[in-house]
Amino acid sequence: MSPPRRSPADRILDLTLYAPIGAVFHGPAMLDELAGRGRAQVRTARVIGRLAVDGARRDLDRRSADIRRLVGDTVVGVARAAGAPLAGPARDDAPPAGRAPRGPSTTAASTPHRHLHAVDSPEPAVVARPDASRLPIPGYDSLSASQVVPRLDDLTADELDAVGDYERATRGRMTILNRIAQLRAS
Segment 52-68 shows an average pLDDT of 86
Q: Which residues contact 104 (CB under 8 A, 6 or more apart)?
A: 164, 177, 180, 181, 184
CA-nearest of 38, 8, 37, 34 to 23 is 34
How far is Cα 104 from Cα 177, in angstroms, rounded to an integer? 7
- Asked if 168 and 96 count as a contact pair (C-beta separation under 8 A), the reply is no
Provide the domain limits for residue 170: 92-185
Q: What pLDDT does 126 receive? A: 53
Instruction: Tell me: do 51 and 21 sit in the same domain.
Output: yes
Taking only the tens place, the pLDDT of each residue in 124-176 is 555 566 788 889 999 998 999 999 999 999 999 999 999 999 999 898 999 99
Instruction: Tell me: do 153 and 69 sit in the same domain.
Output: no
Q: What pLDDT does 3 receive? A: 67
Instruction: Tell me: do 14 and 59 sit in the same domain.
Output: yes
* Reported pTM: 0.34
Instruction: Tell me: do 80 and 97 sit in the same domain.
Output: no
Q: What pLDDT does 129 receive? A: 67
Taking only the tens place, the pLDDT of each residue in 1-52 is 566 788 999 899 888 988 888 888 887 778 878 888 888 899 988 989 888 8
Instruction: Tell me: do 23 and 47 sit in the same domain.
Output: yes
Where is the domain boundary, 84, 103, 136?
Answer: 84
Whether the per-residue pLDDT at 113 is higher than 70: the answer is no
Q: Counting every residue, how long is the chain?
A: 186
Higher model confidence: residue 185 or residue 93?
185
Q: What secondary structure letter does DSSP report for 14?
A: I
Instruction: Tell me: do 79 and 96 sit in the same domain.
Output: no
Q: 2 in a domain, yes or no?
A: no
CB atoms within 10 A of CB 30: 11
CA–centroid distance for 133 within its chain: 29
Instruction: Tell me: do 180 and 103 sit in the same domain.
Output: yes
Instruction: Tell me: do 77 and 140 sit in the same domain.
Output: no
How far is Cα 152 from Cα 140, in angstroms, rounded to an integer? 11
Higher model confidence: residue 2 or residue 106?
2
Q: What pLDDT does 180 receive? A: 94
Complete DSSP assignment for 117-173 = --SS-SSPBPPPPPPGGGSSSTTGGG--HHHHHHHHTT--HHHHHHHHHHHHHTT--
Where is the domain boundary, 20, 52, 84?
Answer: 84
Instruction: Tell me: do 64 and 12 sit in the same domain.
Output: yes
Domain count of the fold of the chain: 2
